[in-house]
Chains A and B, each alone.
Chain A
Amino acid sequence: MDIVFRDVEHRYQINTPFEKRALYDIHVDIRSGSYVAVIGHTGSGKSTLLQHFNGLLQPTKGTVHLGDYTIVAGKKEKHLKPLRKKVGIVFQFPEHQLFEETVEKDICFGPMNFGMSEQEAKARVGEWLALVGLPEEVRHKSPFALSGGQMRRVAIAGVLAMEPEVLVLDEPTAGLDPRGRKEMMDMFANLQRQKKMTIVLVTHSMEEAARYADDIIIMHRGTIVRRGTPEQIFRNVDDLIHLGLDVPETVLFQRAIEQKFGIQFPEPCLTIEDVERSLQTLFTRVKRI
């Protein structure tokens, strides 16, 4: 499912003294099956943007195309239920939305709501638990008896159970410990590869964006200011700093080395493995001279 935004604007509380323009001039093209990271300051419009991905918010100007759906500003779109099955949004702290007595019931709630029989949903719970890396034992436990990280996985399993084509994630790793964060990010990367899902990740972590995304969108004060591959985005370090954004440590380190050694690496180092390889090459070369 391709996603296309054309000249989208969103104003909150329109025609009131509190009217606020949260988004403007938004043009987005997201290819089906790609992995896009959205980064930007708090309040830059990231969360407003992602609520347009399944029509939770509708544009106050412009057009949003989501696969076969077209949402046009000013026309109230009513039949959005099938769309919401296709686009799963995992909000910040999704574990706060758990409500059922057991993990099984909580995960089945979504698919049953979209017409799956209880029998089928229950039969598939094991599969969904495995997708998010939870053991079968948690099935009959209360979700509230689990740890924070496990609760978040249950909430995500509930979204995956609707078998969305697009998975939109709003800071899915906030508050997790480093191991939990890495496991969760690897899980999303797997979903993209194995299930050909489109992933839209809203994150503050430049490291996550650099390591996992095919494409990066940078938002600033309600609009998109940069768009490109991680290599393109992180080649321009000064530009990022100018926008008040952080630079991945790998890129900062690369810059420090380049300045000290008076050399230039051909590509930006986006992961610690990239840095390792570049230094390895550098030191092997000097040995060979």
Chain B
Amino acid sequence: MEVAVRVDDVSFQYANEQTYALQNISFQVYKGEWVTIVGHNGSGKSTLAKLLIGLLPPTSGTIHVCGIPLNEETIWDVREQLGIVFQNPDNQFVGTTVQDDVAFGLENRGIQKEEMKKRINEALKKVKMEDFIHHEPHRLSGGQKQRVAIASAIALQPNVIILDEATSMLDPSGKKEVLHVMQSLRREHDMTVISITHDLNEVAKADRVIVMNKGKIVLEGTPAHIFSYGEKLEEMGLDLPFSLQLSRRLKNNGIPMTADHLTMEGLVSELWTLYSAMSNIVTK
């Protein structure tokens, strides 16, 4: 499989800080893969995102994006491969209208006017903001701003998109829509997605999950594998899916559950099996 992002033994220390924000981080993300990075606030996730786009240089170690080694000379080539959406959209607006804002990145890349128009319209339609094309970004609501920021990133059709808690200001259905857009872009353009999030639904949809704690990678695997660590995740300040939490509580209450369920369907069906078995014994 083709590697989209390769991180080799990267460490990072902020100036005037005693400890490392990132310590010996190594991982690969394959082309077309959806990788989610989770960890509590201060675990180093956002620092990692800043390193990946060259906003901060690693103290040691190397980063490759689409085969290009990331350094001072290649930073603009690397950024052509990348799109990033941050948590707070207020910090990333440049245009006076929604249209200008989405156009900014495209203009920087010298995209032809006709093509540019087409891409702006498509991107805004995908995030359901096409009716706001001439509005001022600063007068939009928090969630609408975030959609525009996402449109600006996807209009560039990057090979790799990094979402740094990009859906945190959206309502639940907005979150679902954005994830859906990302999924379809991934299919159509073989786009790679690196998503930094606290949202369990987003975690559950990933191909692979990387868990960070205190600047290190502590767990890596499929969502089911990661959630099987249960209490260890809770100790790190992370949440468990509802079905898993409930399975454990019921077991502690003496209901003889055989598994920790990741889905509601699984949990309901085991409860039904247990319940019918019990009522059968009683009626006999």
Contact = CB atoms under 8 A, between A and B. Distances in A.
Interface in B26-46: 39-42
A177 B41 contact: yes
Interface stretch (A127-135, A156-164, A255-263): A255-263
A215 B115 CA distance: 50
Given A275-B246, A276-B246, A47 B239 contact: no
A237 interface: no
B242 A272 contact: yes
B245 interface: yes
A286 B278 contact: yes
B89 to A, nearest CB: 10
Given A272-B245, A276-B249, A175 B87 contact: yes
B264 A252 contact: yes
Contacts of B108: none
A261 B245 CA distance: 21
A13 B278 CA distance: 66
Which of A43, A206, A246 is packed against the most chain B CB atoms within 10 Å? A43
B85 to A, nearest CB: 13
Interface of A: 12-13, 18, 40-43, 47, 92-93, 96, 147-149, 171, 174-180, 204, 206, 244-246, 249-250, 252-253, 256-257, 260-261, 272, 275-276, 279-280, 282-283, 286-287, 289
The 6 closest A-B pairs by CB, nearest first: A42-B143, A179-B237, A246-B172, A178-B239, A177-B40, A249-B242
Interface string B240-284: 001101100110010100000000110111011011001100110
Majority DSSP secondary structure for residues of B touching A = helix
B221 interface: no
Contacts of A283: 255, 274-275, 278
Contacts of A272: 242, 245-246, 249
B242 A42 contact: no
Contacts of A256: 264-265, 268
Given A43-B143, A272-B245, A289-B282, A147 B264 contact: no
Interface stretch (B98-106, B162-170, B184-192, B223-231): B162-170
A224 B135 CA distance: 25
Nearest to B43: A177
A42 B238 contact: no
B48 to A, nearest CB: 15
B13 to A, nearest CB: 15
B144 interface: yes
Contacts of B90: 93, 96
Contacts of B41: 147-149, 175-177, 180
B171 interface: yes
Contacts of A41: 143, 171, 173-174
Interface of B: 39-42, 87-88, 90, 135, 139-144, 146-147, 165, 168-174, 198, 237-239, 242-243, 245-246, 249-250, 253, 255, 264-265, 267-269, 271-272, 274-275, 278-279, 282-283
Contacts of A250: 242
Contacts of A287: 278, 282
10 contacts: A42-B141, A171-B142, A174-B168, A175-B87, A180-B41, A252-B264, A253-B267, A272-B249, A276-B249, A283-B274
B142 A286 contact: no
Contact of A286 (B42, B239, B246, B282): B282
A16 to B, nearest CB: 12
Nearest to A92: B142
B264 A177 contact: no
B173 A260 contact: no
Contact of A289 (B237, B272, B279): B279
Nearest to B265: A256
Which of B41, B268, B271 is packed against the most chain A CB atoms within 10 Å? B41
Which of B88, B165, B269 is packed against the most chain A CB atoms within 10 Å? B88
Nearest to B235: A179
B144 A180 contact: no
Contacts of B146: 42
A42 B250 contact: no
Contacts of B40: 177-180
A254 to B, nearest CB: 10
Given A93-B88, A179-B237, A260 B250 contact: no
Contacts of A176: 41, 198
